[in-house]
């Protein structure tokens, strides 16, 4: 079970019409005897029928409740929930769940934030201005622009340099400075939270064969290699640019701790192909620990008993591990977010 000294985690509601309620219960069943303990912020009315839950007022109560029932920090929804049928009327509480989770964690009442999947389309329809969780969390933590998305599993860690933008916009926004910034944040986080003293970063090329010395594109020569040179000059352990079509083989993955990729799908396709069920999304560059499963709301299977909780279980376990490591290894203030 979770150490008595370890603070419980806080899990957001996500879109209540998605698989969030189902996987929340599945994760609680899997972890109730071993931990880490967590409390769910949401409306118990959308939990699967028969779920043993208990309303709690504080996270301190959650730790004692967790072995026997799902601890719930209740949050009412204005519209009834029908699995697979998202309702924009419920967008406000979905955002409120995130706000409360971040507030509890920044106040050090919770050890970390774990987020259930949201529907970006539903939230945008309600006026939500952010591309996704990651950017919203950075704003709430007062470090906008410092956020970096990492997908991690036992088989692979990947970081996309450009994230929630179209491929065309990704090509337009990719710069040497951006690669350097993302790489430095990633290396710092691997030291700070994962305990890797000398992180090995592999930088992907953008073009086929990493540009073939300019014959298949000049981005490697003009943008990526200058970033690699700057990073090596700062003492970082860097290799690349690596051809994207070969850098995810078993042999190649053994040579690095994380792969920095130039756009979203270049990073997410390999990890989801290799280890979808154990993949975890974690946000680097924040003053708090945040993880989430690496899948979406899955409205098409919501309420059908088909949702698997493995990625959420992995996200909760990783959040507990990272929070415990941070608590045991406090960082000097002058070293934070550099």
| Tokens encoding 185 | 């944040």
> Within 13 Å and on the Cβ side, how many CA atoms surround 316?
30
* Interatomic CA distance for residues 106 and 115, integer angstroms: 15
* 15 φ, ψ (degrees, to nearest 5): -70, 120
Closest CA to 95 of 70, 57, 125: 125
Q: What is the mean pLDDT of the chain?
A: 92
Instruction: Give the Å distances, CA to CA, from 207 to 36, 133, 169, 217, 232.
Output: 42, 29, 16, 6, 22
Would you tell me how many other CB atoms lie within 10 Å of the CB of residue 301? 16
What pLDDT score does 327 carry? 86
* 246 φ, ψ (degrees, to nearest 5): -125, -5
3-state DSSP assignment of residue 58: coil
3-state DSSP assignment of residue 281: strand
* Interatomic CA distance for residues 74 and 55, integer angstroms: 6
pTM comes to 0.88
pLDDT by residue (tens digit) across 98-119?
Answer: 999 999 999 999 999 999 999 9
Residue 333 has pLDDT above 70, yes or no: no
pLDDT by residue (tens digit) across 239-269?
Answer: 999 999 999 999 999 999 999 999 999 999 9
Residue 1 has pLDDT above 70, yes or no: no
């Amino acid at each position: 079970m979770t150490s008595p000294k370890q603070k419980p985690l806080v899990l957001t509601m996500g879109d209540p019409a998605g698989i969030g309620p189902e996987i929340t219960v599945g994760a609680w069943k899997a972890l109730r005897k071993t931990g880490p303990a967590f409390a769910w912020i949401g409306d118990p009315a959308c939990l699967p029928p028969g779920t043993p839950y208990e309303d709690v007022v504080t996270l301190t109560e959650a730790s004692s409740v967790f072995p026997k029932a799902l601890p719930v920090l209740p949050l009412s929804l204005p519209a009834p929930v029908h699995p697979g049928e998202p309702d924009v009327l419920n967008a406000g509480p979905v955002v409120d769940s995130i706000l409360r989770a971040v507030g509890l964690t920044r106040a050090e009442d919770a050890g970390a934030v774990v987020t259930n999947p949201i529907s970006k389309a539903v939230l945008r329809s309600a006026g939500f201005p952010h591309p996704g969780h990651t950017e919203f969390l950075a704003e709430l933590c007062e470090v906008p622009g410092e956020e970096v998305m990492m997908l991690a599993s036992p088989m692979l860690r990947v970081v996309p340099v450009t994230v929630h933008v179209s491929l065309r916009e990704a090509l337009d926004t990719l710069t040497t400075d951006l690669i350097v910034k993302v790489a430095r944040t990633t290396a710092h986080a691997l030291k700070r939270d994962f305990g890797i003293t000398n992180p090995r970063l592999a930088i992907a090329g953008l073009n086929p064969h990493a540009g073939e010395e300019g014959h298949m594109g000049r981005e490697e020569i003009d943008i990526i290699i200058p970033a690699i040179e700057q990073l090596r000059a700062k003492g970082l352990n860097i290799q690349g640019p690596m051809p994207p079509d070969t850098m995810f083989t078993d042999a190649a993955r053994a040579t690095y701790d994380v792969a920095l990729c130039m756009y979203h799908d270049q990073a997410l396709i390999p990890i989801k192909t290799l280890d979808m069920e154990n993949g975890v999304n974690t946000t680097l560059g924040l003053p708090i620990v945040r993880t989430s499963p690496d899948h979406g709301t899955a409205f098409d299977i919501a309420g059908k008993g088909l949702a698997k909780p493995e990625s959420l279980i992995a996200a909760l376990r990783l959040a507990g591990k990272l929070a415990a490591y941070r608590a045991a290894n406090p960082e000097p203030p002058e070293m934070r977010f550099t």
